[in-house]
Amino acid sequence: MSPGKELSMQPNRLEKHLRVLILEDVPTDAELVERELRSAGIEFVSTRVDNQDSFREALDRFVPEIILADYSLPAFDGESALAMAREKVPTVPFIFVTGALGEECAVDLLKSGATDFVLKDRLVRLPLCVKRALEEVEEKRQRRQAEEQLKESEKRLRYLSSQLLAAQENERKRIAGEIHDGLGQLLSSARFKLQDAVQRVKEGIANRAVESLGAVHSMLQEATEEARRIQLDLRPSILDDLGILAALSWFSRRFQATYPKIRVEQETAIREEEVPESLKTVIYRISQEALNNIGKHSKADFVHFGLRKTDKIELFIQDNGQGFGLEEKLSPDGSQGGLGLGSMRERAELSGGSFDIESAVGKGTTIRVLWPLA
């Protein structure tokens, strides 16, 4: 590197200026290049090199944002410099600033990866070429970023879709199990008792027939209650009739009755009309999943949950249970899985909200879901 050019060792200053690497063996030519850039209002720091070793070192240590290179040097040539730069810093613009250059040679250099070329007797073009090259780099960076974000979004959507389908299938499986084990068994028993009653009537044993019919009546009543319970689990009518606030209060009381050792404190700081219709089922389902998890897994004796309005709509569920290490519940893609966390996150995000969970072993668990106000 040329004497006096120690700016490559000052990172704070480099962060504020364009880093220009100049490959040039004639110091006065490099000074003319710098003068043209300054006259165009380009703020930069530069370092000049004139051989292969110093050029390679500058690529690594100076970390240029643009390279301006002469084509012909005594101990090095621009074509070799271009190949080296494309290997080490493939996205950095490389502009040849040289003397006479044949058209065929210029075309070959552009095909090899050169960004542009400027003749030394037309340096007035240099600032425009530099600015245009940097704009192209930024456009490519933004395009790559957008493509990566799109791929990540598509990957996330595919994951969410697969998880949603899995959740739906698990729900179907659960309902099928409940119908088979509960409702189905009751109806089967009632059918056998009814057949027995019919047989007793045929045999003229009226008292035994009445007994069987009484058992059938009890079984059908129990089956009706079981069907109603399954229906309420699927979607409580109170949600449609009275709204989300009444539904949450109802579910809170039902949870308290099911888990009498867990004290529930409910907080509501929002009006029914302030909750969009599109969110009411989502809020109920997340609350249902979270509280059921607490009842089954947390070993908590206190739950604080509710719905409130700040600058957003916030659903929160907090317990004082045993908690868990979040790293133990991470799915391969980094999202929370297990204990129904995946389905809760999906419901939140697909409805336009954000899902956050805090938990640690022995310190309980807090779930917060935030939705922007309409």
103 and 47 within one domain = yes
pTM: 0.46
Q: Degrees (nearest 5) of the Cα angle 131, 132, 134?
A: 65
- What residue numbers bound the domain in which 334 lies? 237-372
Domain final residue, candidates 94, 114, 134: 114
The CATH number covering residue 86 comes to: 3.40.50.2300
Q: pLDDT by residue (tens digit) across 113-135?
A: 999 989 999 999 999 999 999 99
pLDDT at 180: 67
Q: Check whether residue 283 and residue 361 sit in a common domain.
A: yes
Q: What is the pLDDT of residue 336?
A: 45
Q: Examine the domain organization and report whether 89 and 192 are in the same domain.
A: no
How many domains does the chain contain in total?
3
**Are residues 27 and 96 located together in one domain of the fold?**
yes
User: Is 18 domain-assigned?
Assistant: yes
Same structural domain for residues 226 and 241? no
**Pairing mode of beta strands 302-309, 312-319:** antiparallel
- Say if 133 falls within a structural domain: no
Asked if residue 128 is part of any domain, the answer here is no
**Residue 231: its pLDDT value, please?**
67
- Regarding whether 344 and 330 lie in a shared domain, the answer is yes
Tens of pLDDT, residue by residue, the chain (374 residues): 443 343 333 333 334 689 999 999 999 999 999 999 999 999 999 999 999 999 999 999 999 999 999 998 888 888 999 999 999 999 999 999 988 777 788 888 888 899 998 999 999 999 999 999 999 989 988 988 888 888 887 877 877 677 666 666 676 777 777 676 667 777 777 777 788 778 878 887 878 777 778 887 787 887 777 776 676 666 677 888 899 999 999 999 989 988 999 999 999 999 999 999 989 989 998 998 899 899 988 999 999 999 999 999 999 999 999 998 876 554 444 344 455 788 888 889 888 999 999 998 999 999 999 999 87
Indicate if 311 and 364 belong to the same structural domain: yes
Is the separation of the CB atoms in 315 and 287 below 8 Å? yes
What pLDDT score does 198 carry? Answer: 81
Q: Which residues, including other chains, have CB under 8 Å from residue 150's CB and lie 6 or more apart?
A: none
Domain assignment of residue 73, yes or no: yes
Q: Which of 23, 69, 13, 89 is nearest to 45 (CA)?
A: 13
Are the C-beta atoms of 318 and 364 separated by less than 8 Å? yes
The angle subtended at Cα 180 by Cα 178 and Cα 183, nearest 5°, is 75
* Same domain as 360, residue 255: yes
Does 165 map to a domain? no
> Are residues 286 and 200 located together in one domain of the fold?
no
Domain boundary among 195, 217, 233: 233
Q: Which of 75, 155, 80, 152 is nearest to 114 (CA)?
A: 80
Beta strands of the chain (E only): which ranges? 18-23, 44-49, 66-69, 94-98, 116-119, 263-269, 302-309, 312-319, 354-359, 365-372
CA-to-CA dists, residue 308 to 82, 267, 314, 357, angstroms: 61, 8, 5, 17
Query: What's 183's DSSP letter?
Result: I
pLDDT of residue 217: 78
> Domain ends where: 181, 210, 233?
233
Same domain, 254 and 359: yes
Closest-CA residue to 19 (of 137, 113, 146, 141):
137
Is the CB of residue 365 less than 8 Å from the CB of residue 318?
yes
Does the residue 123 lie in any domain? no
> Do 360 and 325 contact (CB within 8 A), yes or no?
yes
> What's the rounded Cα separation, in Å, for the pair 234 and 352?
23
∠ CA 169-171-177, rounded to 5°: 105
Residue 124 confidence (pLDDT)? 93
Indicate if 32 and 65 belong to the same structural domain.
Answer: yes
pLDDT on residue 101: 78
Evaluate whether residue 120 is within a structural domain: no
- Residue 311, domain member (yes or no): yes
pLDDT of residue 329: 53
CATH number at residue 335: 3.30.565.10
Whether residues 74 and 96 share a domain: the answer is: yes
